[in-house]
Structure 1
């Protein structure tokens, strides 16, 4: 939870005396180095890759929600803009610069968290161990989902979490920490409205633990609320299309994309989260006094669990904040548990093993990705820097492939999900034919945008997904699309994913 720099200074003194001591700061640096090496091995995330394209297009003059179709609020893309701008300035790949900036953000978040807790009794109890654990949860645990909005939202929230813990402990909070906490909490909530549960549960728990309702109206909460309102007003002023074009589409179509509740409850993420919470409760049951830090962090985890279930997709990155905070609370409860009694020592040993196994399993869960290397290599053979168009709702087919090949993404959107959501909802009985007919204008608008993009910038490669859908038959039955596709020849079919190239390409 904190960066115990004081311990590192002690290590420095020991080194000057002829010995060397591993300090929490050394361990945090080692964790960062391990995580940086992982970035060179793991594939780049599909959505982050798309957002880099969005930022590049915006810098080139295209308008978000008009020339670029995206369902997320502007905050989702603006956080990647600095990486793209800096990459252009120093002539490096945006992926490398973006990852570097994220690591700097994590380091800054941990440093600000330590600074907020520097006068707290928490630092003396488990600060160093918790700092190392927090670093691992923020840098290594995300795995394939590194850089996703949920990941960044939790990174930014950490200094605010420290202030909520201080409020719960009835400890003083520095004015600078109040300002930073308000800014961090607002940024987290501005990523997605669902994240208000994570922030709100922390505030409510802090007030309940402190037995002081005034905590609900602490200055950082007013600052956060004001910044959220200002952000909303800025969207209205600068991105009115988000409310006139995107919100109705999200409300009527995108929210149909939900997994069954039972399926979400049975995901590995839910099980891992429950295990982490049980570890916290088991450790708390042996303590004479409630640990405010573990309680507030666990409340934040519960709030993000509500966000996970409300979104209803069951996707891995949606679960990251709840799992990471659950493991953070469990790690804190173990580190601060003490060794006074033999029974407690055995409980701690068992809890450490469970938390370690949970971390390993969570890494496997968050590393889930779809291997599209065969498709990418086939497209690479067609020619350098290809212009690519995809007929599919599966974004993972085209991203990050197009960036890996230094190609151009022809479509205005990441994937053609509108038609696919309506088709699947009708097929599984989620909607009836009358509702499908009411949603037909959204599907028609997506088709019109696809054809306009096709004609404006004829692609070198067209990828058609017949793996789990019927995009090939749909295109063949459409007079305009089938006419456009006559200029293309089939190159390869890889497990139902058909690759076409323009016939006039040598």
Structure 2
């Protein structure tokens, strides 16, 4: 039995025939299988778990930005709606269906990307080992952040990136590829406005590389622009509260949690990105002219880096597109370097080793998740399918725990972050007391929503976070909240996380 590892996808002839011929398509399938098994090991992401709750509530008749407090635009949650709808239709858990749909999306994105490059001069590089590398970056690297909006944004954008590369190379673009690229770029930018930097930098680089300003006005760019405008008009028409309620809250409170640029530059995510760019440049350093595809992908990586710094939170998943697109550029540079006449083999091997280390570092960085097993075990003992209310600004304590227990999330928001952001900003000197007093209305509105949710659906279990803040003393000092908490008794205190249950509820 012979084993033939070729560099071909369907349509390519393997290097030699054997009883068992392994092509990159087989390797891509193997990568997907490994990634699917990884989903069974890693915990479900906290934010996606919350968005599934949001989607379920919307389907049950609640209104986004009125009955549900969320700072992201509607598209950010709409991407998970299909998973909930299909799960309800077939009677499966939304988490399983959502993961399955994301894998289908990745497969479709890779297929469309390769299809766009099929009849170009880049066909062999796109359809060989790079396809396996791309599958690995899209399915394995996200780790705990698999399915996050940033992950989906890059997955959706890849067919458009392929078209931008063709534009930069002055190659023919099929009408179907233009349409798909426009749809993909628009979807990415509609998920979060910040992603305009990622798509925009690719377009600008393609025009500069082609030395043709008309690339800026290519059909796919018009399609994307029109769809983005339509999406914005739909938000104005159907979600006016996003501008009247959410935008002022984001402007006045949410942005106070932004980190300084110097702090962001020292994060591990930023370090990974810098190393990726260095490795890619090293792989291209001996070439007389930098590869066009590498340039476009590096430009997109830079654009997503700007979105990372503009969002200014330093969260790992915010960095995924810039790191992943940088890794894709490095992988393409490795493929392009095979046919370079001049170059140092030692330098090339060192750069490839650095890329491998960055890959491992990225997997570790994007696998950071909290361990809430002990909290979940104690909540489980309070009874089946509990209704849970949490007094905390930490969103990763209650999620995905509430869904894993088959429980009900009582609050209208993922976590009580408004009071905490104002409190910490005052403590750290970001705002003064006068500014805190001006923001007191937002804090009072959050408190009023908490009390309304409490009364509307009295919880079975209350989780109070005294580890990261003073939620226990804050609630005790509030006469209304203190009265609402009086029927509850302490069950367990786990490193400052206090768990309470109703006194009339038997303990399991």
TM bracket (short chain): over 0.9
What CA distance in whole angstroms lies between the structure 2 residues aligned with 1:214 and 1:52?
A: 42
Cα–Cα, structure 1 residues 340 and 52, in superposed 2: closer, same or farther, change >3 Å?
Answer: closer
Distance 2:398 2:18 in 1: 56
Equivalent residues in 2 for 1:5-404, closer than 5 Å: 5-6=9-10, 10-11=13-14, 18-125=18-125, 127-338=127-338, 343-404=343-404
Structure 2 CA distance for aligned equivalents of residues 70 and 126 of structure 1 = 39
Give the CA RMSD over aligned residues. 1.3
1:382 counterpart SS class:
coil
Gaps of 5+ in 1: none
Distance 2:223 2:419 in 1: 41
Measure how far apart 1:266 and its partner are. Answer: 1.1
Q: Distance in 1 between matches of 2:491 and 2:211?
A: 69
For residues 301-345 of structure 1, give each alpha carbon's deviation from its aligned partner in whole angstroms, at most 9, with x where no partner exists. 000000001111000000000000011111110111125558433
Report deviation, 1:269: 1.1
User: In 2, distance between residues paired with 1:117 and 1:130?
Assistant: 13
Q: Shift in Å at residue 279 of structure 1? A: 1.5
Query: Normalization by structure 2: what TM-score?
Result: 0.97
Q: Is the 8 A contact 1:4 1:114 kept in 2?
A: no
SS in structure 2 at match of 1:172: coil
Q: Tell me which residue corresponds to 2:4.
A: none
- The 1:340–1:229 alpha-carbon spacing in structure 2 relative to 1, beyond 3 Å, is closer
Give deviations 1:39-71, integer Å, cap 9, x for gaps.
000000000000000000011111111111100
Q: Between Structure 1 and Structure 2, how many residues are aligned?
A: 500
**1:98-124 Cα distance to aligned partner (Å, 9 max, x none):** 000000000000000011001111122
Cα distance in 2 for residues equivalent to 1:150 and 1:18: 42
213 and 341 in structure 1: CA distance in 2 versus 1, 3 angstrom threshold: closer
Match of residue 434 from structure 1: 434
Q: Distance in 1 between matches of 2:398 and 2:280?
A: 42
Structure 2 unmatched runs, 5+: 1-6
TM-score by length of 1: 0.97
1:414-434 C-alpha deviation (Å, 9 max, x unpaired):
000000000000000000111
- Checking the alignment, whether the CA contact within 8 Å between 1:83 and 1:94 is kept in structure 2 is yes
SS at match of 2:371: coil
Distance in 1, matches of 2:440 and 2:224, equals: 40
Rounded Cα–Cα distance in structure 2 between residues aligned with 1:185 and 1:415: 31
Summarize the Cα distance change of 1:5–1:273 in structure 2 as closer, same or farther, 3 Å threshold: same
What is the alpha-carbon distance in structure 1 between the residues aligned to residue 345 and residue 434 of structure 2? 63
CA contact (8 A) 2:282 2:348 kept: no
CA–CA distance in structure 1, aligned partners of residues 497 and 260 of structure 2:
27
Mapped partners of 2:72, 2:10: distance in 1: 42
